Chains A and B, each alone.
Chain A
Amino acid sequence: MSARATRAFRMTPLARLGWLALAAYLLWAMSALEFNLARFILGVDNGARFIARMLPPNFERWDLLVKGLTESLQMAFVASFLGVLISLPLGLLAARNLLPPLVTWPVRTLIIACRSFHPVIVAIICVKAVGFGALAGIIALTVASVGFVGKLFTEAIEEISMKQIEAVRATGASFMNVVIFGVMPQVMFRFIGFSAYETDANLRNSTMVGIVGAGGIGSTLFSAFQRFDYDYVFAIVLSIIALIMIGELLQVWVKKVFRQ
């Protein structure tokens, strides 16, 4: 009886030390970055003036706005289509339940490489490689899509029922026929969901890659910022929100159509 602890869930000394170290690190980081109330008050003052200049939103140059939005939308759809198209074979080749490690490892490495960088970083590289404009943006978004959708496709394929595959294989079907009649029916509905999700993500990202010169509404936004046209900036921001909402609706609709 006496050997029992008097308090349950007592912290071990090591856990205590860990929490103490975390608190010390946060305090040190905040002081180093001048993250304090005085600096915040100084900033808020500036922010109030900025917001005042944003209102009311200015839609006078709507033609430029529409052109930018259209370009973003086009970039998002083209990049999603290309990304899914490339991800289909890559996702299959990376599936460890269907192919030997000799095949899956190089493909998995490629997919991971595509996912390692944020689309904006890829966009910077693409702008340097192929010049300013939508082409660089499409390439950047496609690379990001392959990194993301490729991984999701692979995971979906790795979760399929191997019993169904075994049965199709037992009929003497070739590898490709097993893929067409055994693998695809099991993963198709999930692939459609992933593709809709990726299109939505690309819509978001396509508004951003323009900041580094890779086309779309982002370019318009960035130049408006540089010219201090904050009322126009606000108009652009509102339009982007509308665009993302349309993307959200699109996703809901796709899920409804392809339910199950």
Chain B
Amino acid sequence: MTSALSIRNLVKEYVPGKPVLTGITLDIAGADITAVIGPSGTGKSTLIRCINRLVEPTAGEIIFEGRDLVRLAGNELRAARSRIGMVFQEYNLVERLTVMENLLTGCLGRMPAWKALLRRFDPEDIARAWETLETVGLTDFANARADSLSGGQRQRVGISRAVMQRPALLLADEPTSSLDPKTSVEIMELLAQVAATKSIPVIINMHDVELARRFARRIIGMSGGGVVYDGAPAGLDDAILKRIYGGESWLH
């Protein structure tokens, strides 16, 4: 099976000479969850953000749908971005817009500005938004303002917005870190469901090793800006966790 995403020798330096990512090479394929785990500050968020170019990579290649994302600019970059959904830790909804408007924000990549200004959304997109709201159980909240929702509801809107993009790849940057344990599991279940029903790979940064073990088919362990483990959750033993996070007292 060809991979949906190929990362080759990806390097990112915020300060010249001090790389945060030290040459990452990964292939992502399939229609399930890949979890990226590692200590804070090891470049997990940077890696995710390099993929859709919210952060500019310093060197390397990111091949997605046959094109190198690192070299795209202008309209081509925006077209590629619209094919990559993203879910954020703090949901990043536009607070003063309604739930429905936030979902339709996912369609902005395909809309000219005058249509956006007049809120002339494609009727088909609106129908799809209603369906998406139904699957996440927020139909009754369509006209509620985003800032009136609870954390779990907001994250479901965040995921719905990404789904509205009809993405070929879904990125999630610590989607459960601001949520309670029960809601975290529900959100992970929803992400797994998106991966399965839309047949797209989902890459998730996370802190919770147990949650990663439970939902991911593949786990990538990062430490010091590089990949130190890449494999099935079953292979993630104490020795490996020690290599990823350092120390050992926290394991017991």
- Give Cα A189 to B96, complex, Å: 10
Q: Across chains A and B, which 10 residue pairs bring their CB atoms closest together, nearest first? A: A172-B109, A172-B82, A167-B92, A176-B113, A172-B81, A173-B108, A185-B96, A170-B86, A177-B108, A172-B78
Q: Which single residue of chain B is at the shortest CB-CB distance from A180?
A: B116
Please judge, given known A-B contacts A168-B105, A170-B54, A173-B109, whether A186 and B81 are in contact too, CB under 8 Å. Answer: no
Contact count band on A? 20 to 34
Interface residues in B154-203 by Cβ distance below 8 A to A read 158, 161, 165
Which residue of B81, B95, B96, B113 is within 8 Å of A171 (Cβ)?
A: B81
Residues of B with Cβ closer than 8 Å to A?
Answer: 52, 54, 78-84, 86, 88, 90, 92-97, 101, 105-111, 113, 116-117, 158, 161, 165
Can you list, as one digit per residue, whether each of A170-203 has a CB less than 8 Å from chain B (1) or not (0)?
Answer: 1111101110111001101100000000000000
Which residue of A164, A166, A178, A185 is within 8 Å of B54 (Cβ)?
A: A166
Is A163 located at the chain interface by the 8 A CB criterion? yes
Please judge, given known A-B contacts A173-B78, A181-B116, whether A168 and B95 are in contact too, CB under 8 Å. Answer: no
Report A223 CB to chain B, min CB distance, Å: 48
- Give Cα A174 to B82, complex, Å: 10
Please judge, given known A-B contacts A172-B78, A172-B81, A180-B116, whether A164 and B109 are in contact too, CB under 8 Å. Answer: no
With a 10 A CB-CB cut-off, give which of A171, A174, A189 has the most chain B CB atoms. Answer: A171
- Give Cα A182 to B109, complex, Å: 13
CB-CB < 8 A to B113: which residues of A? 174, 176-177, 180
- Give Cα A188 to B94, complex, Å: 13
- Give Cα A168 to B103, complex, Å: 11
CB-CB < 8 A to A170: which residues of B? 52, 54, 81, 84, 86
Which residue of B83, B94, B110 is within 8 Å of A167 (Cβ)?
A: B94
**Is B86's CB under 8 angstroms from A167's CB?**
yes
Q: Which single residue of chain B is at the shortest CB-CB distance from A185?
A: B96
**Is A172's CB under 8 angstroms from B108's CB?**
yes
**Is A182's CB under 8 angstroms from B94's CB?**
yes
CB-CB < 8 A to B79: which residues of A? 172
Is A169 located at the chain interface by the 8 A CB criterion? yes
Please judge, given known A-B contacts A169-B54, A170-B86, A171-B81, whether A164 and B94 are in contact too, CB under 8 Å. Answer: yes
Tally A-B pairs: CB < 8 A: 83
Q: Which single residue of chain A is at the shortest CB-CB distance from B158?
A: A167
Please judge, given known A-B contacts A172-B79, A173-B78, whether A180 and B94 are in contact too, CB under 8 Å. Answer: no
Report A163 CB to chain B, min CB distance, Å: 4
**Is B54's CB under 8 angstroms from A181's CB?**
no
Q: Which single residue of chain B is at the shortest CB-CB distance from A169?
A: B54
Report B112 CB to chain A, min CB distance, Å: 8
Q: Which single residue of chain B is at the shortest CB-CB distance from A170?
A: B86
Interface residues in A144-167 by Cβ distance below 8 A to B read 161, 163-164, 166-167
Report A53 CB to chain B, min CB distance, Å: 57
Add 6 more A-B contacts to A167-B105, A172-B110 (CB < 8 A): A169-B54, A170-B86, A177-B113, A181-B105, A185-B97, A186-B96
**Is B54's CB under 8 angstroms from A180's CB?**
no
- Give Cα A171 to B170, complex, Å: 11
- Give Cα A180 to B108, complex, Å: 10
CB-CB < 8 A to B161: which residues of A? 167, 171
CB-CB < 8 A to A169: which residues of B? 54, 81
**Is A176's CB under 8 angstroms from B165's CB?**
no
CB-CB < 8 A to A186: which residues of B? 94-96
Report B46 CB to chain A, min CB distance, Å: 14
**Is B90's CB under 8 angstroms from A163's CB?**
yes
* 28 A-B residue pairings within 8 Å (CB atoms): A161-B95, A163-B88, A164-B92, A164-B93, A166-B54, A166-B92, A167-B94, A168-B108, A169-B54, A170-B54, A171-B105, A171-B106, A171-B108, A171-B109, A171-B165, A172-B109, A172-B110, A173-B109, A173-B116, A174-B113, A176-B113, A178-B108, A180-B116, A181-B94, A181-B97, A181-B105, A185-B95, A186-B96
